[in-house]
Amino acid sequence: MQIKIVRKSVKNLILKIRPNGEIEVTAPKKLNENYIRDFILRKTPWIEKKLKEIEKRKTKEISYLNGEKIFYLGKEYNFFVEKNGKNYVEKRDSENKVILFTKFPDDFEMKKEIVNSWYREEGKKVFVPVVENYLNLTGKKINKLTIKTLKSNWGSCNYKKGYINLNSEMMKKDIKFIEYVILHEIAHLEHPDHSRKFYGYIEKFMPDWKERKKL
């Protein structure tokens, strides 16, 4: 576990874990190194917990080759590529298949973008009704909902502007997990931090949120 220590004109020690897993401790310029080391040791269990959460957020990258496994709402499908005059993705539940039809069957980046675009479009169909449901339940309003392909966080909320961003990679996860993440971001409109009140607010609308978070 590598930890970057930065000396700055600050009064207190500040520990940050970035979305990519990088750990940084900002320390006062003249603070004793032993004190910093003890601080890191005390925080180690918390750091390890957060790193596991970040690792869990990462979804397995595939090579977009015939016979690979791909996920949709928590269900595993067999992935296939077929050459075609148009670029699109088709999910066949009866055959347990997801088929990518493309002009570029050998172009990894193109195949990746077509599949990601499909997940974003599917995300609009799945996420929007869930967002509307929990906005109605909580009595909250937002000004903008964005669905993007993100590398790390499942979602984010700008409570000042009323913007919510959701990661289309969630389309690979169970719907109960998706509902938890959406309520989590909506809850930030009421409580911008991760305090007890924040999680108490979530529990009021979703008593089983802890189980959902593990999915």
pLDDT digits (tens, 9 = 90+) for 93-107: 999 999 999 999 999
Number of domains in the chain: 2
Mean pLDDT of 16-39: 87
What is residue 51's predicted lDDT score, i.e. its pLDDT?
83
Mean pLDDT of 10-23: 84
Tell me which residue range forms the domain holding 12: 3-57
Tell me the three state secondary structure of residue 203: helix
Residue 214 pLDDT > 70, yes or no? yes
Rounded distance, CA 190 to CA 185, Å? 10
Q: What torsion do the CA atoms of 154, 158, 163, 164 make, to the nearest 10 degrees?
A: 10
Do 41 and 99 lie in a common domain?
Answer: no
The answer as to whether 201 is a domain residue is yes
- Between 9-18, 118-127, 153-162, 163-172, the lowest mean confidence (pLDDT) is in 9-18
**Domain containing 89 — which CATH number?**
3.30.2010.10
The answer as to whether 62 is a domain residue is no
According to DSSP, the β-strands at 144-148 and 163-167 are: parallel
Do 102 and 21 lie in a common domain?
Answer: no
Rounded distance, CA 53 to CA 113, Å? 26
Taking the model in full, what pTM does it have? 0.75
Q: Residue 77 is inside which H or E element, if any?
A: strand 75-83
Q: How many CB atoms lie within 10 A of CB 24?
A: 13
Pair of tokens at residue 25: 């401790």
What is residue 57's predicted lDDT score, i.e. its pLDDT?
61
